[in-house]
Amino acid sequence: MEKKITIAIDGFSSTGKSTVAKGLAKKLGYVYVDTGAMYRAVTLYMMRKLFVSNTNLNEEAIVRHLPFIGLKFIFSEEAGFGEMYLNDERVEKEIRYMEVSEQVSKVAAIPQVRKKLVEQQQEMGKEKGVVMDGRDIGTVVFPDAELKIFMTASTEKRAQRRYDELRERGDEVAYDAVLKNVKDRDFMDSTREDSPLIKADDAVEFDNSELNLEEQFDKILKIVEDRISE
């Protein structure tokens, strides 16, 4: 029987981490966990209940609400992966809105939020055979993962990809606003005190600025297959 490993994929926003991770999980028959969706779901809850915004980020109130948040992934045959449910409500679409993107890094920087979600993520991946993507998977969640990949791309490329994705979905957004959001999230993710976004020493850095989806998937799949066969 082929051994199963833990694959940790970290990197900046809009580098295609989730797309690659979903593809790998499907190809390998692994469990896929989108940790970013978990932080987005917590943010959505806080926006609804506490009106979290740039001018209203009450950390104490957010922490008090954490026990009332239930998160789970339910596999969707149509989507081909586990979709995010917040307190039994499917929120896969809602958590991708720009309004959530603008607040998620702030909520994710709160230590108690990270502690709660990291514990859940570690439980999800304890049997291995998992592909997990996020910001701190290889450094905090699974520091002993057999394969760590750190994905990156130029800021402009990432902003264009995110803009195209949002427009294709029907969202009315301006490219400049998306670019600013990408830069702001980069700064907040990289400079937060708790579990900042950094490349693990033993991670494979992968710049996909000039690669299409098929090219990057093929290259990363080769890295994965080589690691599994070691």
Annotation: binding site for ATP: 11-19
Tell me the chain's radius of gyration from C-alpha atoms.
17
Of 109, 135, 124, which Cα lies nearest the Cα of 15?
135
Of 171, 25, 161, which Cα lies nearest the Cα of 93?
171
Spatial separation of the C-alpha atoms in residues 7 and 25, rounded to whole Å? 9
- Report how far apart, in Å, the C-alpha atoms of 4 and of each of 82, 146, 218, 229 are: 20, 9, 19, 10
Strand 81-86's sheet: what is its strand order?
Answer: 71-76, 81-86, 89-90
End-to-end CA distance of the chain: 14
Of 87, 88, 141, which Cα lies nearest the Cα of 115?
141
Query: Would you list which residues are annotated within the binding site?
Result: 11-19
